[in-house]
Amino acid sequence: MNSFNRDLTQRLEELHHQGLYRELRRIDSPQAPRIQLDGKPLLNFSSNDYLGLANEPALKNAAAEAIQRYGAGAGASRLICGSLACHHELDETLAAFKGTEAALSFSSGYAAAHGAIGALLGKDDVIVLDKLVHACIVDAARLSGAKMRVFAHNDLNDLEDILRWADARRSSSAHEHPVRILIVTESVFSMDGDLAPLKPIVELKENYGAWLMVDEAHGTGLYGPNRRGLAEALGVSDRIEVQMGTLGKALGSAGGFLSGSRPLIDYLVNRARSFIFSTAPVPAAAAAATAGARFTQSAEGERRCATLWRRVAQFCARTPQPPSSQPSAIIPLMVGDETRAMEIATALRQQEILIPAIRYPTVARGQARLRLTVTAAHTEEDVAKLQTVLKSTWTP
């Protein structure tokens, strides 16, 4: 073995030793409550396909039609010659869905976060993150060069202390443009399933003249009268400068998006590097996402959402959760030790339940958990089976 491979092999052994080794599992079926893993049927409680749209005929037909009409690939970035009608239709559908002046789709949520943060901030600015925001936001914040400050998870006092500090920095700055301050949080936290106190965060950012970006990756399609997200449910959408969402979770396809004012979107087209320097998403993904957003807004979308919350309530009725004003489809079953979490996940798999262990670096060391997600496609019987199996496998 050469020295390159020897070095990597040693690092992999260390990951094994720490209970942090990861490997891909091959699924031989569509995304659904029942999947085939290594030829074995499993009841899947780990997907972000919250409304069961990933395998929905309306989305698959839209994707197939888009392939027939526009081909398999987009051919170039949107600003060169890849801005196909299906991408424009998606952007317009997303803006209407979110109730914002405009929206812009990206090839992934990861790319959307990078596009927004990198375009809006530079090294003289300040970015303020909730401790538990997704890695794509942390990476984008680092890359932007802005001064990064982190507030304790959902802690408004800590956030206000940092805003006071940032405001003072702005007052003493001699730069030609005022120091920009951007707060970024998720609405529904991806690994904890708890919700951000968006209303007081909006009030704080207004008091301190900051901007707010909210990642609704796990809120889009699930909250509010039009299922636009938690910001809609809390009545603060039009006070948030940048709303972010993903197309690969409740909306059933793939990609990410940013929505907000027309100047925001025009600026992103000019300055978001992950948008400018990347080939446009394939037509099939764009068309399926448009169909997913339309489905979500329909009466059937409303029914799916209601089914989801009934399944979540069924599960929570027998597995006590921390009190919350709004339910969440993400329910972490806390374990702590990484190796123990892996053992429980294996024991669940042996009983035909798939809930993978989530470990460092996705969550902090010693905070390993099983990230359970319930979807509208699960039946009452599926949830009952899960409860029975968990009883013998996991203790809170």
Ligand X SMILES: Cc1ncc(COP(=O)(O)O)c(C=O)c1O
Strand blocks (E) in the chain: 34-37, 40-44, 102-106, 126-130, 147-151, 181-186, 211-215, 242-246, 256-260, 330-336, 353-354, 357-358, 368-373
Q: Which residues within the stretch 140-199 sit at the binding site for ligand X (CB under 6 A)?
A: 186, 190
CB of 320 or CB of 361, closer to ligand X: 361
Burial of 166 (C-beta count, 10 Å sphere; 0-12/13-18/19+): buried
Does the annotation mark 190 as catalytic?
yes
- Shortest distance in whole angstroms from residue 134 CB to ligand X: 4
8 Å CB contact between 111 and 274: yes
Taking CB atoms, the residue at the shortest distance from ligand X is 109
Strands 181-186 and 211-215: parallel
Site size toward ligand X, by CB under 6 A:
13
Q: What is the 3-state secondary structure (H, E, C) of 321-355?
A: CCCCCCCCCEEEEEEECHHHHHHHHHHHHHCCEEC
Q: Within a 10 A sphere around the Cβ of 298, how many other Cβ atoms?
A: 12
Q: Which stretch binds ligand X (CB under 6 A): 61-69, 170-178, 210-218, 332-340?
A: 210-218
* Contact criterion met (CB below 8 Å) for 147 and 168: no
Residue 217, interface with ligand X (CB under 6 A)?
yes
Is 40 marked active-site? Answer: no
CB of 388 to ligand X, least distance (A): 29
Of 328, 373, 338, 377, nearest in space to 359 by CA? 338
As a whole number of angstroms, the distance between CA 253 and CA 72 comes to: 15
Q: Of the candidates 394, 330, 335, which has an alpha carbon nearest to the alpha carbon of residue 367?
A: 335
- Least separation in angstroms between CB 357 and ligand X: 17
Report which residue type is found at 137.
I
Q: Which of 187, 249, 253, 278 is catalytic?
A: 249
Contact call for residue 134 and ligand X (CB under 6 A) = yes
From the list 193, 221, 248, 281, which residue makes contact with ligand X (rule: CB under 6 A)? 248
Q: Are 358 and 368 contacting, i.e. CB atoms less than 8 angstroms apart? A: yes
Per CB under 6 A, the list member of 52, 109, 115, 292 interacting with ligand X is 109
Residue of 50, 70, 110, 315 that binds ligand X (CB under 6 A):
110
Does residue 195 sit in helix, strand or coil?
strand
Considering only residues 105, 108, 185, 296, which one is a binding residue for ligand X as defined by CB under 6 A? Answer: 108
User: Of residues 218, 253, 274, 328, which has the active-site annotation?
Assistant: 218
Residue 253 touching ligand X (CB under 6 A) = no
Q: Using CB under 6 A, which of the segments 106-114, 220-228, 276-284, 326-334 binds ligand X?
A: 106-114
Q: Exactly one of 52, 193, 256, 281 binds ligand X (CB under 6 A); which one?
A: 256
Determine which one of 47, 108, 144, 190 is catalytic: 190
Residue with Cβ nearer ligand X (100 or 246): 246
Among all residues, which ones are annotated catalytic? 190, 218, 249
> Which residues form the interface with ligand X (CB under 6 A)?
108-110, 134, 136, 186, 190, 215, 217-218, 246, 248, 256
